[in-house]
C-alpha cells in the first residue's frame, strides 16, 4: 500500500506553485462536472471546490492515522500557514465560492487564533468547516 506524502513534501507543492506561476487559472473536471478551480494571483492561491466531497476528503487526509487526527491535522496546517506567512504567500480555500479558510500572509484571524495558536490561519466559516472536517 502506498503511503501519503510527508508533511515536508506536501508543503513544497504550494510554495513551488506560487514561486513558479505568477498568474493563471485552472479548472479541473471529472465526468464533465467542474470540481475544483485553482486561481493563482500575485503571491496568492485560491482553491474553490465545487463538490463538498473533494474538500472533505482533503480535510480528512490524515484521519487514517492511529493517533488523534485533529491535533495532527491542525499541526500540519499550522506548519504550512507559518511557512506561507514567512514567504509572504497566501492560500484561500472556498466551497462553492464561499471562503472557508485563509492561511498564510493574508490571514487576519480573530477568535480562531486562540484555537490554532497562530496568526497565520483565519477560519472564515467555522460552522461549515467543522461539519466538513468531522
**Could you read off the pLDDT of 91-132 as tens digits, one per residue?**
999 999 999 999 999 999 988 788 888 999 999 988 887 777
Bigger pLDDT: 70 vs 50: 50
Given this model, what pLDDT does residue 1 score? 44
Q: Is residue 93 part of a domain?
A: yes
Mean pLDDT of 59-78: 64
On whether residue 108 sits in a domain, the answer given is yes
Examine residue 1 and state whether it is found in any structural domain, yes or no. no
* pLDDT for residue 98: 93
pTM of the model: 0.79
Side-chain-side CA neighbours of residue 101 (13 Å) = 24
In terms of phi and psi (left: phi > 0; alpha: psi -120 to 50; beta: otherwise), the region of 46 is beta
Domain hosting residue 38, numbered range: 9-133
Question: Into how many domains does the chain fold?
Answer: 1
Best CA proximity match to 109, nearest among 100, 101, 121, 98: 121
Inside any domain, residue 2 = no
The better pLDDT of the pair 30, 53 is held by 53
Amino acid at each position: 500500500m502506498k503511503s501519503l506524502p510527508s508533511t515536508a513534501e506536501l508543503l513544497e507543492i504550494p510554495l513551488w506553485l506560487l514561486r513558479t506561476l505568477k498568474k493563471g487559472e485552472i479548472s479541473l473536471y471529472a465526468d464533465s462536472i467542474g470540481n475544483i478551480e485553482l486561481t493563482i494571483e500575485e503571491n496568492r492561491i485560491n482553491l474553490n471546490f465545487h463538490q463538498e466531497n473533494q474538500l472533505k476528503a482533503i480535510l480528512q487526509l490524515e484521519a487514517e492515522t492511529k493517533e488523534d487526527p485533529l491535533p495532527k491535522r491542525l499541526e500540519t496546517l499550522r506548519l504550512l500557514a507559518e511557512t506561507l506567512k514567512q514567504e509572504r504567500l497566501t492560500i484561500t480555500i472556498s466551497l462553492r465560492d464561499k471562503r472557508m479558510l485563509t492561511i498564510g500572509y493574508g490571514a487576519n484571524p480573530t477568535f480562531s487564533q486562540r484555537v490554532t495558536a497562530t496568526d497565520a490561519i483565519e477560519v472564515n466559516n467555522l460552522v461549515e468547516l467543522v461539519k466538513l472536517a468531522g
